[in-house]
Amino acid sequence: MSRLTPLTKAPVAEGSPAGGGAPGPTIDPATDRPNRRKRVTTDHLVESIGSALASLAIVWLVFTVSGVSAPFGLAVAWCGVFFAVYAVVCWRAHGVLLMKDRLGTVAIWLGGLIAMVPLAGVIGYVIVKGASVALADFPHFFTSDMSQLTASAPTTAVGAGAAIVGTIEQVGIAAVLSVPLGILTATYLADSRSLFSKIVGYVVDAMTGAPAIIAGLFIYLFWVAPRQHSGKSGLAAGMALAVMMLPVVTRAAQEVVQIVPGSLREAALALGAPQWRVLLRIVLPTARAGLMTAVILGVARIAGETAPVLFNAGGNETYNWNPFSGQQDNLPFRIYQLIFQPGVNVIKDAWGVSFVLVLLILILFVMARLVGSSRPGRRLIPRFSRSQPE
């Protein structure tokens, strides 16, 4: 019966299988192989694919008979019925425990795949809608401004150039304001255990989750409102973005600074280096790749923020290269304006600007990844020198 018969019970001589009734633990070298657990067995494949096909057939039949035509609904119903069919199959074949395992695995993969759908969906949709607008007559959309925009203007008459300039300058101002402050604060938070540093740590966390519109409102009240009409400028928008970027940079820098090995710092301090030199010559160079990644990611995040710049940049349909005086344009701001503007082609223009914005952010994101994958302490950009001979 059982293969787990105790050894003591049946010391049967080899070659007489029918000896004492119960089969003994005869060790046959031909069949006794270690039982390796396979990841996916044939049974497993047959059961899952079979269940998938069976449930598809059921759903298809029901939908066809009832005359409903809804591809998306069919997919959802298929998932539901598949769960039921697969549950029954696994339960009959393997019992409850393995059924739960199989269903759990399917649910987790399904959830993970669903999380990917919106990303592909949104980027694909922007490319489909916007690429033809932005890439027609290629550099034109990237260089011309919105001054030719009328209710009936063709998409080739306008461009996002002014908004690109504004976004780059405002994000640059935000980075200049927030990166040094963030790194210094992070150094302080990483080193100090005082009550003050705890409070500052909480504040940084609190600001990380603050709504974007609050940053815009604050800078409006703090900077724009007292200056009346001259207040709206690239600088004001940059300050609002800096408020958004500061906690992101601080948190990321704190994590990176804490990774720097303590022995390195201690060695420098023991050699008599003052603390500021330790920060500038040891900690920051070691953490360079991580810091750059954090800064670029932070820039990518705020480049797409609309709410902070809404009340502060002012918007400008023509080029304004000077962020310190006069209203300036901005990519997300321009999208927002275009969506609410009447006109035949205006929505197409908005998709074009969205395409430019997504393109900019994808470039920044890929840059951050490339920088992040270089090892700490190494050069960010490899020197183009001849390789050393062996």
Task: Give, as ranges, the residues between 211 and 250 that touch another protein (CB under 8 A).
Answer: 211-214, 217-218, 220-222, 243, 246, 250
- Which of 84, 31, 20 has the alpha carbon at shortest distance from 56? 84
- CA distances 110 to 24, 59, 105, Å, are 47, 19, 8
Q: Rounded distance, CA 365 to CA 361, Å?
A: 6
Point out which span in 46-54, 69-77, 81-89, 139-147 binds another protein (CB under 8 A).
69-77
User: Angle 161-191/346-373 helices, nearest 10 degrees?
Assistant: 40
Identity of the residue, 92 or 198, whose beta carbon is nearer to another protein in the bound complex: 198
Q: Residue 18 CB, nearest distance to another protein (Å)?
A: 34
Residues 361, 208 contacting (CB under 8 angstroms): no
Which residues within the stretch 316-335 sit at the binding site for another protein (CB under 8 A)? 332, 335
Angle 64-69-71 from CA coordinates, rounded to 5°: 110
Q: Residue 167 CB, nearest distance to another protein (Å)?
A: 11
Q: Rounded distance, CA 375 to CA 377, Å?
A: 6
Q: Residue 146 CB, nearest distance to another protein (Å)?
A: 17
Identity of the residue, 196 or 384, whose beta carbon is nearer to another protein in the bound complex: 196
Identity of the residue, 1 or 116, whose beta carbon is nearer to another protein in the bound complex: 116
Which residues within the stretch 24-53 sit at the binding site for another protein (CB under 8 A)? none
Residues recorded for the chain: 390
Identity of the residue, 276 or 384, whose beta carbon is nearer to another protein in the bound complex: 276
Which residues within the stretch 341-370 sit at the binding site for another protein (CB under 8 A)? 350-351, 354, 357-358, 361-362, 365, 369
Give the SS3 label for residue 348. helix
Does 275 engage in binding with another protein (CB under 8 A)?
A: yes
Q: Residue 13 CB, nearest distance to another protein (Å)?
A: 34
Does 110 engage in binding with another protein (CB under 8 A)?
A: yes
Point out which span in 58-66, 81-89, 118-126, 253-261 binds another protein (CB under 8 A).
118-126
Q: Residue 85 CB, nearest distance to another protein (Å)?
A: 19
Q: Rounded distance, CA 6 to CA 10, Å?
A: 8
Which residues within the stretch 157-216 sit at the binding site for another protein (CB under 8 A)? 180-181, 184-185, 187-189, 191, 196-197, 199-200, 202-214
- Which of 304, 300, 302 has the alpha carbon at shortest distance from 363? 300
Residues 46, 94 contacting (CB under 8 angstroms): no
Does 98 engage in binding with another protein (CB under 8 A)?
A: yes
Does 111 engage in binding with another protein (CB under 8 A)?
A: yes
Indicate the helix (H) or strand (E) that contains 245.
helix 234-259
Does 75 engage in binding with another protein (CB under 8 A)?
A: no
If you ran DSSP here, which 8-state letter would residue 279 be given? I
Does 91 engage in binding with another protein (CB under 8 A)?
A: no
If you ran DSSP here, which 8-state letter would residue 39 be given? S
How many CB atoms lie under 10 A from the CB of residue 55? 20
Q: Rounded distance, CA 178 to CA 246, Å?
A: 5
Q: Residue 187 CB, nearest distance to another protein (Å)?
A: 6
